[in-house]
Amino acid sequence: MPGISAGLNLANLDDITEAEIDTYLTSRWYGRGPLYDMYATSLMLDYAPDFMKMHRWLADQSRLLPPRTPDPSLVGVVPGPNDTILVATIPQLFSYMMYGWETGIRNEFRVLRRLGLSRAEIMEIVLFGRLFTGMRGLGHTYHAIGDVLPDYRDGEVTPAWPHGWAPDSAAFKCGLDLSTEDFTAQDRTNLTGWYERTIGYVPRWVRFAMRYDPRVLKAQRALWELAIKKLPKQVAPYLMLRDAQVAADREAMREAALLAHAWGITPAWIVNSITYTTMYFGGTRGFGFADEAIGDLLAEWTPDWP
């Protein structure tokens, strides 16, 4: 039976008390951050409390996907309350850069610091986001947080990364020759080899760029290889899953899922990415797109799931 969540009695959707409302709104102010969560949820509390309670119910469920492995030695392989909050916050910063929502950017910086990330680690998310949002995303980030970033403190707790998530900057490298701007024959061999070894094929966009503008491809790939050094390498495909689902790009979704799988992200975490994206961007139609894009892969990787 649903219980109490942030002061809301989820077992009773039909009624709400002033005490429930006050407790919930106070919980939104606890972190002393931007107040958008307080006034956004006030709209539901004031005009549709049953909808608000179900909203909270959904938020709780998305953090607690059921275990999908009988092996007790793999604790942490499936999402749990602590690591889900950290991992789910990372693509929020990425998406707010994309959409240019500066209040959200500022808030996610605060949340990620509170969850233990250093300034350098948070900036790696920003730099990876720049590959998708361009200078516009960096501009929004500066407007949101840049004036206080020089004095920003690192997080004071140990980040709760999922089982097996760890830094590995070498995994990004394909062996580009950065002593020349030209896309050399060896660059072509090394780049195609990286894709074939890692995800099993060379994506169409890579083949196109190698043919028509290989020098730009080389520089773009070098940026991709340089963005993430301190964060776990799994952050990259997790962010790529978010981008592909929001953009409804089937090929990008398959590429991201295959890279995620190759780098040890479990199917439960891939589903967690899909679930969080449907909550915040696009609604439940995202499940249909995900099934179309990677449903066959998930079925192959999880034959024991109902």
Query: pLDDT of 174-200, one tens digit each?
Result: 999 999 999 999 999 999 999 999 999
> Does residue 36 carry a pLDDT above 90?
no
> Does residue 25 carry a pLDDT above 50?
yes
> What is the rounded average pLDDT of the residues 25-53?
85
Distance CA 30, CA 110 (A): 13
Q: What residue type is 170 in one-letter code?
A: A
| Torsion sign, CA atoms 40, 42, 45, 47 | negative
| Torsion sign, CA atoms 283, 263, 293, 269 | negative
What pLDDT shows up at residue 190? 98
What pLDDT shows up at residue 85? 82
> What is the rounded average pLDDT of the residues 189-212?
98
More confident residue, 52 or 66: 52
Confidence of residue 69 (pLDDT cuts 50, 70, 90): very low
More confident residue, 84 or 299: 299
Distance CA 222, CA 181 (A): 11
What pLDDT shows up at residue 55? 86
Instruction: Compute the mean pLDDT over every residue in the chain, rounded to the nearest whole number.
Output: 90
More confident residue, 116 or 37: 116
Confidence of residue 63 (pLDDT cuts 50, 70, 90): low
What pLDDT shows up at residue 71? 37
What pLDDT shows up at residue 199? 98
> Does residue 6 carry a pLDDT above 90?
no
> What is the rounded average pLDDT of the residues 246-253?
96
Q: State percent of the chain over pLDDT 90.
A: 67
Q: Are 172 and 236 in contact (CB under 8 A)?
A: yes
Q: What residue type is 275 in one-letter code?
A: T
> What is the rounded average pLDDT of the residues 280-301?
94
Q: What residue type is 148 in one-letter code?
A: V
Q: What is the CA radius of gyration of the chain?
A: 21
> Does residue 70 carry a pLDDT above 60?
no
List, for residues 130-151, the tens digit of each pLDDT value: 999 999 999 999 999 999 999 9
> Does residue 238 carry a pLDDT above 70?
yes
> What is the rounded average pLDDT of the residues 157-170?
94
